[in-house]
């Protein structure tokens, strides 16, 4: 028996009728929570021999060891769902003018990459002026460009350098995580040529006369 007391309580919602037939309408607001939950999800298909789920789970955690995994769920045999923990990255703004170190300015700059969470102590106290540093919640396949642009108080476009404390490895050719394009084994397609295999001809031995 399933213990329903451990689930989530639901509520009754009046459903309007269309031509005397009840028809529920689901809005974007109704699915917003689940859409957010699925943003960090990858569905994996295991081909070939059917392995126990524990082996598949261990292999997934091994190949993605650099990415914190929230859970691995078996959908059906050979198909599983992998959800990653939301990625948080500390980014630096080298040589950012100190007049842009305020809370509102930093929040706007951080929002260009994700959801800004907080600054470090040195940025808060302005005790290290080489760069401003913020902790940003980002999508793992988000924007990791080295520069961003913003308009200042005079409407002048400013090009600002951005440095990330850590970057995920991603192949720009196949858009897969865990390795770079330089180490992609599939990118270089080796040219294959068909060649006729020459069978060695047996040599005749000369008998002495």
Q: What is the pLDDT along the chain (209 residues), one digit of tens a residue?
A: 556 667 778 888 888 887 888 888 888 888 888 887 787 788 888 887 778 888 889 988 888 887 788 889 988 888 889 988 766 667 888 888 888 888 888 889 988 888 888 887 777 777 767 778 787 777 766 677 889 899 999 999 999 998 887 766 666 655 555 555 555 655 555 455 556 666 666 655 555 55
Q: Are residues 55 and 75 in the same domain?
A: yes
* Cβ atoms of residues 70 and 40 within 8 Å: yes
* Cβ atoms of residues 83 and 116 within 8 Å: no
Q: What distance separates the 2 farthest-apart alpha carbons in the chain?
A: 112
What's the pLDDT score for residue 195? 61
- Cβ burial, residue 60 (10 Å; 0-12/13-18/19+): middle
Q: Are residues 153 and 112 in the same domain?
A: yes
Which ranges in the chain belong to alpha helices (H)?
A: 28-38, 53-63, 103-111, 121-125
Final residue belonging to a domain, choices 69, 84, 99: 84
Q: How many domains does the chain have?
A: 2
- Would residue 96 count as lying in a domain? yes
- Would residue 126 count as lying in a domain? yes
Q: Are residues 95 and 142 in the same domain?
A: yes
Q: What's the CA gap between 207 and 1, in Å, rounded?
A: 91
Q: Are residues 57 and 112 in the same domain?
A: no
* Cβ atoms of residues 157 and 148 within 8 Å: no
- Would residue 74 count as lying in a domain? yes
- φ/ψ of 159, rounded to 5, equals -100, 115
Q: Are residues 36 and 59 in the same domain?
A: yes
3-state secondary structure of 171: strand
Q: Are residues 54 and 99 in the same domain?
A: no
What's the pLDDT score for residue 3? 64
Range of the domain at 72: 27-84
Beta strand spans in 127-187 (E): 131-138, 147-151, 157-161, 163-164, 170-171, 176-177
Q: Are residues 73 and 138 in the same domain?
A: no
Q: Are residues 59 and 97 in the same domain?
A: no
Model-level pTM?
0.44
3-state secondary structure of 44: strand
First-residue to last-residue Cα distance in the chain:
97
């Amino acid at each position: 028996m399933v213990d329903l007391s451990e689930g989530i309580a639901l509520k009754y919602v009046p459903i309007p009728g269309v031509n005397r037939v009840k028809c529920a309408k689901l809005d974007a607001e109704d699915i917003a929570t689940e859409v957010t939950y699925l943003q960090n999800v990858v569905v994996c298909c295991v081909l070939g021999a059917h392995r126990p789920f524990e082996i598949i789970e261990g292999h997934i955690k091994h190949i993605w060891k650099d990415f914190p995994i929230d859970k691995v769920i078996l959908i059906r045999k050979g198909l599983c769902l992998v959800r990653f923990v939301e990625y948080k990255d500390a980014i630096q703004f080298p040589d950012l003018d100190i007049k842009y170190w305020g809370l509102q300015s930093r929040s706007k700059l951080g929002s260009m990459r994700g959801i800004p969470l907080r600054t470090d102590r040195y940025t808060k106290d302005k005790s290290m002026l080489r760069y401003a540093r913020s902790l940003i919640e980002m999508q793992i396949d988000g924007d990791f460009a080295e520069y961003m642009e913003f308009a200042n108080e005079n409407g002048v476009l400013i090009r600002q350098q951005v440095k990330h404390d850590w970057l995920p490895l991603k192949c720009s050719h196949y858009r897969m995580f865990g390795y770079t394009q330089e180490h992609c084994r599939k990118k270089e397609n080796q040219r294959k040529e068909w060649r006729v295999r020459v069978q060695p001809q047996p040599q005749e031995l000369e008998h002495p006369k």
